[in-house]
Each structure stands twice: as C-alpha cells, then as structure tokens.
Amino acid sequence: MKQQTLLSIVIPAYNEEANLRPLFDEVSRHTRALPYQFEIILVDDGSSDGSVAILQQLAAEHDEVRVLELARNFGKEAAVSAGLHSAEGEAAIVMDADLQMPPSLLGEFIERWEKGADIVVGVFATRNMSRLRRIGAHWFYRIMQAIGNEKITPHATDYRLLDRQVLESFKTLTERNRITRGLVDWLGYKRDYVYFKQEPRRNGQPTYSMRKLITLAINSFTSNSLIPLKLAGYLGVFILTLSIPAGLFMYIERYILNDPMRLLFNGTDMLAIMTLFLVGVILACLGLISLYIANIHAEVINRPLYIVRKKPATIEPLASAVAGRKERSASGQKETVAA
C-alpha cells in the first residue's frame, strides 16, 4: 500500500493526565516504523483533572494530533463513537488511554487488515483483575453467549481496527444507549483476532468502577438480546403448565371422585392454585405485550435493514445494453408523440 495512506488512531480519555504523554510517546514510537500516515484523535470525555491542558499541548506540538473535547462526561461509549465519527483514515484503530492495550501491537493489527480483514479484534489472552471481577467476567460472557442475538468473543476488547467501509456502516447506527463492541459485532464483516496479555495500568486508578461495569453488563444484555424482555412471558407459561393440571387434579380428586386418595384438599389449597393460575395468566399477558415492545424496540433503534460488504462490479456490456434499450425506448416515445 502507498505510504500516503492515512490511518486513524482513536483514544478516549477520562482523567488520564498521568498517562497521556507516555501513551503518545509509545504510539508515536511504533507508528514511525510503519509505512503509513497517522492521525491520532484524542477524545477528552469531560475530564476534571489536567488532561485537557496536556491534550492541547500535544496538539500544539504535533501536527498529527487532533483533540475532541466533549462538553461533559458522556461515557466511554459516546467518546469512542465521537472519535470514530470524526476519523478520516482508511481504517481506524481504537485503544484505551491507560496503556493496558500495548501500542506495540499496532503493526500486527495493520498487517491483519492488509491481508483482507475488515475488522481486527484485540482479545485478552490473560487479564489483570481481581478474583471477583474475573468471576463476574466469566459469567457475563457465559450469559451473553446463551442469550445474545449475535455471538460475541469472550474477553474481546475495544482495542480493534475498523476498515473504512465498516466505519461508514457504523455511522448509520443510531441508538444512544450503545455498546460499541456489540454494534461492531452486529455489523458482521470479515474479521481476524489478535490475542495479547493485558498490561498493568501504568499510572492512576481505573475510572471504570464496579457500578459502571454492572451498568455496562445490563446494557449489553438489553441491547443485544430480547430474552430479558420475554422472561415474564416464559415464566407465565411455565406457571400455567403447572397450575392448570394441578387445579384439575385437585378438583376431580376432591369433588368428583370424593377424595379416594385421602389427600384432604381443602378450600385454601384450591384458592392457592387459583391464585397461582391467575399469576400465570398475568405473566403470560405481559409476555405477549413484550413481543409488541420488542417489535417497537427494533423499529425505534432504526438499524439498517442489511449491510453490504462488497458490491458486484459493473459489467460493461450489460450496462451498454441497458443504456441502449433506454435510448431506443426514449426515441420510440418521441416518434409516437410526433405522429
């Protein structure tokens, strides 16, 4: 590929003043060895420390640095989307600002892209996290694999390369409560994977608290699967399948057969079964309503009906024949009008 090809590197940052210069030095050192031009888009997500001042200094000192300052803290997903929307390169690479995603892998990501991958996904081979978070991550991916509309790669990260065509498709996605990696997975396209060890955080403290991680997990479940919405209906059907036979058995055994099994069912037992039956009816009705809500949800997020990865090449003889037919049709219409 030509040396003039431009690639974008998108880095969202929130209160990362201690990491920004080391990060830029690392990225610059590895990109200088690659035969491409780079723009480095640093997105400040409403930082309250000295991050903005450092970003402005980097932009003043280096022509390849572009800084986007968000008006407040909108969250990482919005910051990543803002960076991808403004990327002008033939491909864009997203990475975090805490140096846990090694810039030394940039060349490998680009190499996989050169070989034909539209998306190159970074996947943690090993992770630096507490036992509690490791257990939470394990069960999160187990549940997502079970209920998700699209299968996701366990421990996949936001460290990924997106081809220009993927970027243009990504811009058409309109939902506001978004999980970027989930949207990219939904798009499809030809992909490859780079496995790496998660580096320890260089400076500062993680800004993703446990509360934010739980919120991210819930958003992932609700945005990538409709099963949570339908759980009430499934539960209602399950209760009905139990309560109806149980109620019929109790009624027949007690009042028609005069209790031959000496089970001594009384009015309280019948009332409990009737209550259980009515609860099942209510939950089943909620499940029916959820089907309509699911359809509304699918229409409101307004995702494209389909994504075209590659269009067929124009066949010149066929195109000429079609053009000839149109010309003959137009001339025939003119002759009819003249007559």
Structure-token pair, residue 64: 């390849």
Q: How many CB atoms lie within 10 A of CB 224?
A: 20
User: Counting beta carbons within 10 angstroms of the beta carbon of residue 123, is it exposed (0 to 12), middle (13 to 18) or buried (19 or more)?
Assistant: middle
User: What does the longest C-alpha to C-alpha distance in the chain come to?
Assistant: 100
Q: What is the pLDDT of residue 162?
A: 92
pTM over 0.75: no
Looking at residue 161, its pLDDT comes to 92
Strand partners, 161: 93, 120
pLDDT tens for 256-284 read: 777 777 777 777 877 888 888 888 888 88
Q: How confident is the model at residue 225 (pLDDT cuts 50, 70, 90)?
A: low
Task: Assign 313 to helix, strand or coil.
Answer: coil
Asked whether the predicted pLDDT for residue 330 surpasses 80, the reply is no
Q: What percent of the chain has pLDDT over 90?
A: 3
Q: What is the CA radius of gyration of the chain?
A: 29
Q: Are the C-beta atoms of residues 51 and 128 closer than 8 Å to each other?
A: no
Q: Which of 179, 269, 193 is nearest to 221 (CA)?
A: 179
CA distance 151 to 32: 36
